Structure formats: structure tokens, C-alpha cells
Structure 1
Amino acid sequence: MNTSKHLWAGAIAAMVSRTIVAPLERLKLEYIVRGEERNLIELVTSIATTQGLRGFWKGNLLNILRTAPFKAINFCAYDSYRKQLLRVTGNKEATNFERFIAGAAAGITATVLCLPLDTVRTKLVARGGEALGGIAGAFRYMIQTEGVLSLYKGLVPSIASMAPSGAVFYSVYDILKSAYLHSPEGQKRLHDMKQQGQELNALDRLELGPIRTFLYGAIAGACAEATTYPFEVVRRQLQLQAGRNQLGTLATGLKIIERGGIPALYAGLLPSLLQVLPSAAISYFVYECMKIVLKVE
């Protein structure tokens, strides 16, 4: 029951955050998948003119279907791995190394289980994706034409990306949270919360408080994104390959650098960061709130 509540808390956090930042996610994909070269303002104007406001939420349903289980598994796996490490070591609080290990393991677990949905979403957003007939059609097309293993294109760079991303994302947040809770101000807040007990609402029962929960989530998200962004670019390009002459991970990365230099590995980083900052902040905020509401132990 507790695991189920844990998963629901992560899933709801993903649904809320992804829907709010869907327009920024769409812009990021335009730069990575379609090789968009126009500046941000021109791209926004073009989408609004040709597709209307709904165009900024294109692919959001599939994004939610992908990220809800991904985030649910990710959050739950991190807390589970961290608790298991504490049981093994006998420590009351995880060390920074244990946080990194738990975060990396959580990222790998979620990636392996959820990569097929991400591959299909990338296919739908790319040129010609509209003709595949939606989610089911894209799944059917890829399996029939390229085989089941095509759904796991980019698995190696995905794991190479998500392992350090999870390690950085969760450990940075936990380190900041631990530092605050051990400070005089944090100790006073915990003491006051204990005194007032059940009289507090969900927002007041956040250990960090609403503002710090938002802030620390945003910082953790920005650190993780900046660290692993080149892997994201390589992974998207691998997912778009078809036919016999498909390149490996290293060859794809070298080809991207050959075409546009090192900056090509960071194509779309600005809109990506603009998307990640609120997304990570909202995710952690909603997740922490839902754990309180659902009474996750």
C-alpha cells in the first residue's frame, strides 16, 4: 500500500508539472529533433500562427503517459534504494555517496522500464510523425518495420544520461534539504511543526516550506540538466535513425560535433533549462505535498 501511494505521488507530480511546462518542452524538442535554427521568438510566433495555442501542447498526452510512470518509478525507486542503503550501513542519514548511488540506480531503473514510450513520442514529434496514426499507430509501425528492439534505440546513452542525472538531481536536493534541516533555522522549523502537529495543512507541513521546496527542486533540476544535456541530444538523434546504415552512440555524437561543433551538443539548452527549472521545482513541490496528503511513510 505504501509503495502504491509512493508511485501515485510521483505520477501526480509528473502530470501537473509536465502539463504546466508543456510549451517549453515543445520548443526544446523542436531544436533537438527538427534541428530548428530560428531564434526562440521566431519559433514561438511560427507555432502560434500555424497551430494556435494548442500547438504548444502537441504531444503532451503522450508526454504525460511517458513521464508519469517514469517519475513515479524514479521517485519511488530513489527513496527505496536510499532506505535499503541505510539498512545495510546502519546509518541514520544517507551520506552524499549513498545519495549519488541511489539516484543513479533510480535513474537506470526508470529508464529501462519507460524508454519505449519516449522513443515513440520522439517519432511522433519528428517530421512525418503525424502520418503514423497516434501512439498505437507509432508503436505498430516501429515494431512491424524495425522490430521490437527499435523501441529501445538510444538505451546506452539514455542510461549514460539518466544515471548521472538521477544521481545529481536527487543528491543535490537531498544535500540542500539536509543542510537546511540541520541549520538553526531548520531545527526551529521542525520543532515548531512538531508542536503544532495535525493542526497544520499540507503546505505548512512541508519540512522545507513551500518556497525552499520550489527553490531546491529548481536548483537540483538545473544541475542535472546541465550535466547530462549532451547525452539527451545524442539519444534523440539515435531514436530518429532508421534503415540499415544506423550509427552507434559514439559515431552519432561525433557526427553531431562534425556538423555543428561542440555547441551542437547543447542545441536547445536554453529552452530546455527554461523548461527544467519550473518542471523540477513543481515536481518536487507536488511530490512532497502528495506524500503528506497520501500519508506516505
Structure 2
Amino acid sequence: MPWLEMWLPPAAGEGAVAAGLFLEGGDAAAHGALLAAMPGCSVSFGAGARSRRRRGAPPGFLSLTMSVKGGRGFVPGTVGLLAGAEEKGGAEEAEALVAGKKAVEEVALAEGGVLVLQEKEKEKDVRAGAGAMNMTKHLWAGAVAAMVSRTLVAPLERLKLEYIVRGEQRNLFELMHAIATTQGLKGFWKGNFVNILRTAPFKAVNFYAYDTYRKQLHKWSGNEETTNFERFIAGAFAGVTATMMCIPMDTIRTRMVAPGGEALGGVIGVARHMIQTEGFFSLYKGLVPSLISMAPSGAVFYGVYDILKMAYLHSPEGKKRVSMMKQQKQEANALDQLELGTVRTLLYGAIAGCCAEAATYPFEVVRRQLQMQVKATRMNAFATCLKIVDQGGVPALYAGLIPSLLQVLPSASISYFVYELMKIVMKVE
């Protein structure tokens, strides 16, 4: 194909380049459409008077202008049509040029939309990954809080179970002396490993579920601040959620501490024995009274703590502390970043735990008795409650309340303190 390429000096403007081509008539429209399809190209096509007089000469001259800005690609230009030798042919060629460029622009817009969607998907994946990581940190904060608190108060937990499970009649000091002389100091931590296996996931799910439910209820209500009703509802649902997920380990631990539990072996041995002799759902003994007790227990525990916390933060002293924390956030250590401070976090946790324990303790007694029952003598929750009252009166429903409160007071305070501290250390959002 005889054609002449002629490059002209750069046009005025940033990175503008001009060029021209003499094309044969048969190829003019095709080449024009191809070049016009390039983003940033301005194309004009026509014929000169001199070329029309000579047969075989290229009938058309194609002018081309391209501009580039900042390395970001061609800047779109406009398409113009020079005076052609044949009006009809020139019009058709112009339409071909414009149609080609429009098609490319539509493709570019479609590709741009795809790129935008891809970017949104990437951002969505990043947010999902961050949310999953934050949830993991949240759960670990609750698990660590449970492990630390349960290990420290394991002796008091053992005393409480002796009163509930074995029906101990001796006073507290006599019972402590009996355990120390027969089993040594390690006897006070009997079953603590199983207790940790039970309470670590329980507390992890409980704390995380409460924060999740509370935030969701606050979002739905649209209030400026979470109300007390929303706190109680979130706490109740958090207790129910954690109980349904973790009650099998609680049942196994209770059976291990009960008379004859030592002969069944460890966690696996007890679980195997219960499933083989009583069926899989025997691991869920006492679920109904557990749910009935954990709903108000969670509501009172989290509700009381948050009410006390917000009352302090809205006080002049609390506002002053929050202001100072914001100013010293980069320099303050984890303990100084606690909103309530160390003492108030421990105190408010203890108060909340005691209120929750006292309000729901009879359900705890009934639940433990249900977990001890074998298949031959199994009774429902109501019948078990009547039997306890018939044998020991109403005070029997509060058997072991004092050691239980002594156990809950440090347990609740330490667990809330460690939980709040771990959220700061692990940077839970």
C-alpha cells in the first residue's frame, strides 16, 4: 500500500503530538476508524485539490493529534472532518470515525465500571478480614479473662460445689480443713482444668455476644446513647447464646466432681460414659433452668456494670479523666487507658457479679441437681425444685450462697478487669 507518513512538530499544549498520513481511498475509512478508536486521538480526514487531479495519487490526507498528560494515558480529543473530494464518502467516513470512537468509549466506561466494582470488592474483603481479626481478638480477650479469674478463685469454686453437689453440712472452715488434710493444696484446684475448658469459651462468647448485641440494638434504636433496657436485653441474649454453646463442658465438670466421678476418668472418659449410658443429649442436662437463669444473670451482670460505668463517665470526675486520657493517649500505658481506672473496674465488676449471682442462685442449685441425676431417677426442673424445697426448705435453694458470693466477687472483678485490659493490649476496636 503506497502511503506517506509525515510527522509534524509537537502541537501546543502538554505532551501534544501531531502527525499526518496519506491514505488510499479503500483504506482511508478503515484506518481512520482504527485511529479514532484510540483514546486521546483527534482525527480528521479529507482530500486536497492537488491530489484529486492526479490519477493514482492518494485521495485522502488523515491528520492525527494525540496528547498525553502526566503519564495517565491519552486525553480524549474531538474528531473533525476536513473538506473531502466526495461529500457523500466523507460523511460516511466521518460517521465511521465517530461510531468507532463511541464504541471504544462505551467499552472504556464498561471497563471502568468493572474496575470500580473490583475495587469495591477488594475494600469489602479487606473490611471482612479486619472484622474477622477483630472478632478473634475480642474472643481471646474474653477467654484470657476467664482463664485468669477462674484459676485465681478455683478454691472458692471447689467449696461452692461441695455444698451444692455433695450436700455438705459442715461449716466453711471445717470443710477447708478436710480438703487440705485429705487431698492437699492441689485438692482446692481439683477440676480447674475442666473448669477453664468450660469457662474460657463461655466467657469469650458471652463478652463478645454482649458487645455485639448491644451495638446492634443501639444501631436499630437510633438513640444517641445505649439505654438501660437495651443493655439488659443484650446481656440476657448474650447469656443465652453462651449457655447453649458451652453447657456440655459444664455438665461434664459437674459429673466429675460428683461422688463416683473420679472412677470415670477425665473429660473424655466422663463424656464417653454419659453418651453410652444416657445418650448424647445427656450432655445438655439442665439446659432449661440454665437458660432461665443465664438470661436474667447476664442482664443483671452486664446491665449493672454498664449503668455504673456510664454514671461515672458522665460525672465531672469521669469527664475530666476521659479528657486527660485523650491528651495522654500516646504516652499512657494499658492500665492508664482503662476508662474507669483499675480500682473502679475491679469494684464495679464485683458489684455486678454479686447482684447477678444473688438474683439467680436458686436456678444454679436446680441446674446442678439436674446434672447429677442418672437416667433411672431423672426428673424435670420443676419436680427437682420441689424436691429440694421439700427436703431442706426454701433455704436449700440458697445452699452454698456465701462461698458462691465469695467466689463470684473476685471472679467477676478480675474477669472484667482482665477483659478490659486485654481489649486495650490487643487493640480491639
In the other structure, the counterpart of 1:127 is: 259
More strand by share: 2
Which residue in 2 is equivalent to 1:8? 140
Which residue of structure 1 aligns with residue 3 of structure 2?
none
Partner of 1:211: 343
Deviations 1:237-272 (A, max 9, x none): 000111233111011001000000000000000000
For residues 243 and 79 of structure 1, what CA distance do their matches in structure 2 show?
39
Q: Provide the C-alpha distance between the structure 2 equivalents of 1:249 and 1:84, rounded to a whole number of angstroms.
A: 33
Deviations 1:29-71 (A, max 9, x none): 0000000000000000000000000000000000000000000
User: 2:168 aligns to what?
Assistant: 36
Q: What does residue 241 of structure 1 align with?
A: 373
Residue 275 of structure 1 corresponds to 407
Q: Report the AA paired with residue 166 of structure 1.
A: G
Q: Once the two structures are aligned, what percentage of the paired residues are identical?
A: 75
Q: Deviations over 1:158-191 (max 9, x none)?
A: 0000000000000000000000000000000000
Q: How far is the alpha carbon of 1:295 from its aligned partner?
A: 0.4
Greater share of residues in helix: 1
In the aligned structure 2, how far is the partner of 1:34 from the partner of 1:111?
A: 24
- SS for the counterpart of 1:17 is helix
Distance in 2, matches of 1:292 and 1:76, equals 15
Structure possessing the higher radius of gyration over alpha carbons: 2
Q: Which runs of 5+ in 1 are unaligned?
A: none
Alignment of 1:85-96 (within 5 A): 85-96=217-228
Is the aligned partner of 1:138 residue 2:270? yes
2:192 to 36, 60, 67: 60
In 1, distance between residues paired with 2:224 and 2:282?
44
| Aligned mates of 1:265, 1:37 — CA distance in 2 | 14
Q: What is the distance in 2 between the residues matched to 1:127 and 1:245? A: 16
1:98 aligns with 2:98: no
Question: After superposition, where does 1:92-241 map in structure 2 within 5 Å?
Answer: 92-241=224-373
Cα distance between partner residues in 1 of 2:224 and 2:152: 37
| Cα offset, 1:90, TM superposition | 1.3
Supply the distance in 2 between the matched residues of 1:61 and 1:8 (Cα, whole angstroms).
17
- TM-score after normalising by structure 1: 0.99
Task: Return the offset for 1:91.
Answer: 1.8
Determine the structure 1 residue equivalent to 2:205.
73
Alpha-carbon distance in 2 for matches of 1:190, 1:41 = 45
AA matched with 1:84 = Q
CA distance in 1, matches of 2:382, 2:330: 55
Letter in 1 for 2:215: K
How far is the alpha carbon of 1:197 from its aligned partner?
Answer: 1.3
Instruction: Identify which of 369, 379, 393 aligns with 1:261.
Output: 393
Residue by residue over 1:199-251, the C-alpha shift from the partner in whole angstroms, topping out at 9 and shown as x without a partner, is 00000000000000000000000000000000000000000111233111011
Letter of the 2:229 counterpart: F
Aligned residues: 297
- AA aligned to 1:97 is F
